[in-house]
Amino acid sequence: MKKVILAFDTFKGSAHSIDIAQATARAVSKQFPACEIVSFPIADGGEGSTAAICSALQVEYTNCLVHDALMNPIEISYAITQDGTTAILEMASCCGLPLIAPDKRNPLLTTTFGVGELVNDALRKGCRSFIMGIGGSATNDAGIGMMAALGIRFLNEDGEELIPCGESLSKIHHIDESQLNPLLKETHFTIICDVNNPFCGINGAAYVYAPQKGATPQMVRELDHGLCHYAQILYQQKQMDITHLQGAGAAGGMGGGLLPFLHAVLKPGIETILDILHFRESLIGADLVLTGEGKLDAQTTMGKALGGILEIANKEQIPVVALGGTIESVSQLNELGFTAVFSIQQGPISLEDAMKQDTALTNIETTITQILRLIKRFES
């Protein structure tokens, strides 16, 4: 084996993609000392997207004080390209689900207001182009929080301004854009997301993703009703129908909810990031792609990082082996194109212990070693 590509996503809550790549590289070097190892930090629009994109660009990081999804102050960082024109950020840095304690998660109350504050900060610093990842959110407000921070007022039927959060979607009667930040007229957004769900309905933002953000079944129905209602308001005022647009349901409807107000395009996150990283070109001469994420299941290829990696590698006829902390639907994963999938678990262990970083990295290195020993045996 002469060349291996390492393209791991973060094992969420356990190990970062960079650390996983280092553990995997150690295993490869021990078994194939002369093998060329090419490693990519992978993300799909959620946590880690800024770092992944910036690994291929010349940037400077800057800090700003904004609010998290429950309007608590939080200091975050984002990147600006050295020419000062483009901001690279991820909404998860201020409104991500891991930032909210499990007992505080409530997508009726969470807001993307902090993302709008972040955008305002970058606009003040001269940025007129944005690459914004919107995966990993704690919100289901269709982006009205962000747009409120940028100057839009969302009014009920009595003309009263609403708090821009999920429970307000069903109450919106009129959208007042008179105070929208004028700098947005000369600004372009590339919005990258990690799912392809529609805005609302049984496969939309609320039904599919709100439960993991703390929503009860009743809250899910209320949120979906709000999304459907808001989509109608947008169609009436902006003449744009986002209801069935692929990816519109990303980040609790933020994927579609921003499009009527911004000069923006919505793109699959992993496709955009892999293009920036020149992933396809790196496959020339490769013998194997090693990839993985915390859980492998039937949704793994639905707009997610591993799906993008798999699609490109299959076109180039490079075998892809995937690792996961949990594996479901093995046969389906093979049918989708993975040469093989492996769980990294070495035996019975509690979820808490399994997700410890040191344990996960050790298990990953051990599993990779066993895979490579088998490959080595058949090559000799």
Question: Residue 198's Cα: distance from chain center in Å?
Answer: 16
> Which residue's entry shows tokens 């996150």?
269
Question: Measured between alpha carbons, how far is 136 from 155 in angstroms, rounded to an integer?
Answer: 28
The model's pLDDT over 207-256, given as tens digits with 9 standing for 90+, comes to: 999 999 999 999 999 999 999 999 999 999 999 999 999 999 999 999 99
pLDDT exceeds cutoff 80 at 45: no
Q: Does residue 139 share a domain with residue 182?
A: yes
Domain end residue (candidates: 254, 271, 288): 271
Q: Does residue 235 share a domain with residue 313?
A: no
Residue type present at position 51: A
Q: Does residue 214 share a domain with residue 69?
A: yes
Structural contact between residues 277 and 238, judged by C-beta atoms closer than 8 angstroms: no
Q: Does residue 286 share a domain with residue 265?
A: no
The model's pLDDT over 253-305, given as tens digits with 9 standing for 90+, comes to: 999 999 999 999 998 878 888 888 889 999 999 999 999 988 888 766 665 77
Closest CA to 279 of 89, 34, 53, 22: 53
Which pLDDT value is given to residue 52? Answer: 83
The model's pLDDT over 65-109, given as tens digits with 9 standing for 90+, comes to: 999 999 999 999 999 999 999 999 999 999 999 999 999 999 999
Check which CATH number belongs to the domain holding 336 and give it: 3.40.50.10350
Q: Does residue 78 share a domain with residue 152?
A: yes
Closest CA to 254 of 53, 100, 79, 45: 45
Domain end residue (candidates: 243, 271, 299): 271
Whole-number average pLDDT of the chain: 92
> Which residue's entry shows tokens 């799909």?
44
Tally of domains in the chain: 2
Q: Does residue 105 share a domain with residue 205?
A: yes
Give 61's pLDDT tier (boundaries 50, 70, 90): very high
Which pLDDT value is given to residue 302? Answer: 60
The parent domain of residue 349 ranges over 3-40+279-379
- Helix residue ranges, H only, 163-249: 205-209, 217-238
Closest CA to 277 of 46, 50, 54: 54
Which pLDDT value is given to residue 301? Answer: 63
Question: Residue 224's Cα: distance from chain center in Å?
Answer: 21
Which pLDDT value is given to residue 227? Answer: 98
Distinct helix (H) and strand (E) counts, the chain: 14, 13
Q: Does residue 173 share a domain with residue 230?
A: yes
Domain end residue (candidates: 211, 236, 271): 271
